[in-house]
Amino acid sequence: MFSRKSSALVAQAMCAGALASVVATATPASAQTVVPCSEGALSTAIGNASAGASLVLARGCTYSLHMALPPIQTTITIVGRNTTITRDTTAGAFGILSVASTGNLTLTNTTITGGNAPDFGGGIANRGRLTVTGSSIHDNGANFSGGIGGGSGTVTRIVNTSIFHNTANVNGGGVANDGDMTIVNSHITDNTATSGVGGGLANDGTLRIVSSDVNVNHALGNRAGGIANIGGGTTNITSSNVNKNDAAVAPGGILNSGGVVTLVASRVRENTPTNCADGDIPIPNCAN
């Protein structure tokens, strides 16, 4: 039988051992990994990322991809430092980044270009949660949503970002949204839907555009060079510009073919052949 003193010593030892075990197994809330400037290093870092990981990309690097990156399946942050991720021109068809239904990606200060997805989201395909800040999404292509695509049930937030020169074969040359999307202080310019609607954006979910420009986009074979609200979607446009977009068939600026479009302190001007006229449902406060 232990004496009171020896019992106390054992208790102290047990507490010390437990504390040592906690210290040994504890991990940082947000593990940071600096990713060397190579395709393999980036693919490995995304594939092995644990929840809360922060992947810091090489400064000024261009990660040139010959094969698709692994889908993002957990909560991670990718921190660019004037960094570019692109698809090599000799590679097969794939988009640049994809977020799985379980994934939650925050992307900052990164250029996404050269993607060519056979389905949707040539630059970024979001099936979970996505935040893009201070980035450039350009010269990507897909069947739907050439630049960024948000699928059904997703949440997408785009802030201080430029989306330009992207192409969709059908709807949403720059962006297509089936979920919940917010665009703030961003520029969506010179994107193209070759046969569908919404050269700049196509929405059949919930879309909020705030203090942004949707200008000089094109619907080459259909309606809504600027914005198409379809399938019962809701689009709220606040303190924004929808100008100089063009379409093969009116309206050239904004189309509402089902659902609600709300304009608040926004300008819809110089779109061809009309701003909002000849859409399926009239849009209040839009000069035709």
Tens digit of each residue's pLDDT (9 = 90 or more) over 222-244:
999 999 999 999 999 999 999 99
How many beta carbons lie within 10 A of that of residue 15, not counting itself?
A: 10
Would you say residue 16 has pLDDT above 70? Answer: no
Average pLDDT, the chain: 91
Tens digit of each residue's pLDDT (9 = 90 or more) over 140-192:
999 999 999 999 999 999 999 999 999 999 999 999 999 999 999 999 999 99
Domain 31-269 has CATH 2.60.40: no
Tens digit of each residue's pLDDT (9 = 90 or more) over 76-133:
999 999 999 999 999 999 999 999 999 999 999 999 999 999 999 999 999 999 999 9
In this structure, what is the dihedral angle of CA atoms 7, 9, 14, 16, given to the nearest 10 degrees?
Answer: 160
Would you say residue 5 has pLDDT above 60? Answer: no
* β-strand pairing of 97-99 with 62-65: unpaired
Pairwise CA distance, residues 85 & 105, whole Å: 15
Please report, rounded to a whole number, the percentage of residues in the chain having pLDDT higher than 90.
Answer: 89
Domain-by-domain residue ranges, the chain?
A: 31-269
Give φ, ψ of 44 to 5 degrees. Answer: -65, -45
Q: What angle do CA 184, 83, 149 make, to 5 degrees?
A: 45
The single-letter DSSP state of residue 272 is B
Question: Which pTM does this prediction carry?
Answer: 0.89
Q: Which residue has the higher pLDDT, 256 or 30?
A: 256
Residue with tokens 């949204």: 177
